[in-house]
Structure 1
């Protein structure tokens, strides 16, 4: 989806930072946004999950038939289709083994807890913008007993020098690839290998927060196994970028994954049946994974057309970040209130049937708003002219004068 859950997950608690305003309740505003964006004819990526449960089950069965033998029985406590998904994931990443988890939050807590026990250090070095630090309510500390330190506060991945010079000892270095809240940014391949080497020099293990690792291959010019091989363990998501229902996997050495399975059980992740999530993940690996490099390449064209269109429109200040996206996702910043921009996006969807942007928020000073743009299969049909035309119509609703 465009924004990749920023529509709801990053709105304020009352929805005010991403709602169309007025006297409508937060629930009514969210319903209006979802109806507008899902009902639009043209969009850069899929919208929020929509339709009836019956319709979604029918679609899962239809798409799943091409990815798995649906005549087989459902899973029980992680066997069957879940075990098959784990094997497929391990093979894709070139890892010895992989374990399925109901959430990425649980998977990473378990990974870092395991490494804390193995290294003898409960300290994890990670970026302050990383997901465990910003979006998990302090779970690493409160639930897993892990303490965190930050190699840098700059809105980019940490460098090898910063890892070497960190003034506290640590047992694990966590690298989020890409660093979503900094703009889905990635280091270069050489920078990544140097940073990993710097951690090894300090006798630390390396864990990749790879929720979106699937779409990094084009930027690095390396295969998934080559990327994953740099780390001691890797977490990947099955719904971000792959369009699954939910779920994640933790991959690494066989003995590490076996220990992770034990902690998964203790954390409540040994579910009775998980076949819908596992089947949706296999569909995503079959359908979406091969197309991610194409999405990333087209995102560069979309970002370029946005930069050109904003400059031509005379917007007093704007930023497309990164200027050339590292993946198929990037940020757009504009000098207007988030509520005004979100209302313009909703109206454009309702009136024109076009979704260029979705929800906006104000992570910095008031009056300076940001949205996340995702380019996926529907966006491949958008040429530069289509992007500029949609942008012009959007700005006309922001600046009616």
Structure 2
């Protein structure tokens, strides 16, 4: 027994050391990636989280005076600059009131539990690839007492008949616009209107997960307030598209927002001071929001150039999804493992100063297939079709693939891998 106990203890120590080594390796790799991306002269998008603390603070200090009176007092528990952000966001979305939250996870839990109390039904209909189902550790059920049903499992938002024919009653329909995990995809305007009407026919409220709602206007051909008006409440994020530090806003009817603020306090979201996040959000509304339509338009150019360049390469098949992006973000699928693709992308950044792809992932992919997300923002506007082709050529060269065969049966792939 003593020998067995010693053996178990030894195995536990080895496992702990292996986990520690893995964490250290991942941290080293992260620093390597950040250094390469920061040093790159050419990128399609430069994320705020790629910057050093001093750079981020300096940029905020330089821009903040353009959007708010810096002689005003700092906020305390949500007044001052936070209230101004809430007011401006509510106005942009066409709602009478809004509440600032430290995270979208908290904002949406609060919104849906408030609606559950009003409808008397704690069931939420949403897509299985929606953010709460994939990235929030079952927070809806574990923390907020909500349960979910899924009108569809197709890699798109649900259709009107799927909502209308859902075999379980639900009090709220939650729609993520765009649906990120499926490729930042959106329905057509008429389809969205029909889905909302189908939910209303079932006496359900409609909530938009609008973390990236800001860039949806070009696809729908409608202003933000008209899009938001379809829903009973809307959540928007400030760091995903607007380059803010953090934070989210829940917008909706005044009574709902007052109740949401009470729950925000209960959930631990009543922070003492939030002026850096609020100021960076205001800067994003002022600077980035007007530029988003140009990003969306150029993403279509970049996606088309990627399609042509990858098809002309030695890669047996590739997939741009959606083929014509709905927003300024889209997916690229390739038939290789993440280790090979990530090393090729990173060495390209380090050796050429050009970052084409950032990180590749395999969860949810078939064996031997990986996917990456491409974002086109301000610096991406400078890329021409020739620039994209040259970057693809450099990337493929680092994959060390065999020579191009005479015929490649997989080149014309049209479906999702």
Give the Å deviation of 1:258: 0.6
Q: C-alpha distance in 2, partners of 1:347/1:180?
A: 27
1:385 pairs with 2:398: no
SS of residue in 1 equivalent to 2:76:
coil
SS of residue in 2 equivalent to 1:72:
coil
Q: C-alpha distance in 2, partners of 1:196/1:161?
A: 11
After superposition, what is the alpha-carbon deviation per residue over 1:36-75, rounded to whole angstroms, capped at 9, x for unaligned?
1111110000135244433322210101111111111110
The list of structure 1 runs, each at least 4 consecutive aligned residues, that deviate by more than 4 angstroms after superposition, is none
SS of residue in 2 equivalent to 1:121:
coil
Partner of 1:4: none
* Higher Cα Rg, which structure: 2
Give the Å deviation of 1:314: 4.0
SS of residue in 1 equivalent to 2:323:
coil
Is the 2:155–2:182 contact (alpha carbons within 8 Å) kept by the matching residues of 1? yes
SS of residue in 1 equivalent to 2:174:
strand
Partner of 1:139: 139
Partner of 2:130: 130
Q: C-alpha distance in 1, partners of 2:144/2:63?
A: 38
Alignment RMSD? 1.3
Partner of 2:166: 166
The number of aligned residues is 380
Q: C-alpha distance in 1, partners of 2:24/2:82?
A: 43
Q: Any gaps of 5 or more consecutive residues in structure 2?
A: 1-21, 403-417
Partner of 1:399: 400
Q: Any gaps of 5 or more consecutive residues in structure 1?
A: 1-21
Partner of 2:3: none
1:365 pairs with 2:366: yes
SS of residue in 1 equivalent to 2:49:
coil
Partner of 2:346: 346
Is the 1:46–1:376 contact (alpha carbons within 8 Å) kept by the matching residues of 2? yes
SS of residue in 2 equivalent to 1:174:
strand
Q: Structure 1-normalised TM-score? A: 0.93
SS of residue in 2 equivalent to 1:331:
strand
Q: C-alpha distance in 2, partners of 1:95/1:391?
A: 45
Partner of 1:13: none
Q: C-alpha distance in 2, partners of 1:50/1:204?
A: 41
Partner of 1:77: 77
Q: C-alpha distance in 2, partners of 1:51/1:181?
A: 26
SS of residue in 2 equivalent to 1:340:
helix
CA 1:304–1:347 in structure 2 vs 1: closer, same or farther (change >3 Å)? Answer: same
SS of residue in 2 equivalent to 1:182:
coil
Partner of 2:13: none
Higher relative contact order structure (alpha carbons within 8 Å, sequence separation ≥ 6): 1
Q: Structure 2-normalised TM-score? A: 0.90
After superposition, what is the alpha-carbon deviation per residue over 1:128-149, rounded to whole angstroms, capped at 9, x for unaligned?
0000111000000000000000
Is the 2:100–2:249 contact (alpha carbons within 8 Å) kept by the matching residues of 1? yes
SS of residue in 2 equivalent to 1:399:
coil
After superposition, what is the alpha-carbon deviation per residue over 1:158-215, rounded to whole angstroms, capped at 9, x for unaligned?
0000001100000000000000000000000000000000000000000000000000
Is the 2:130–2:179 contact (alpha carbons within 8 Å) kept by the matching residues of 1? yes
Is the 1:38–1:48 contact (alpha carbons within 8 Å) kept by the matching residues of 2? no
Superposition map of 1:142-221 within 5 A: 142-221=142-221
Partner of 1:65: 65
Is the 1:38–1:47 contact (alpha carbons within 8 Å) kept by the matching residues of 2? no
In terms of mean alpha carbon deviation, does 369-378 or 357-366 score higher? Answer: 357-366
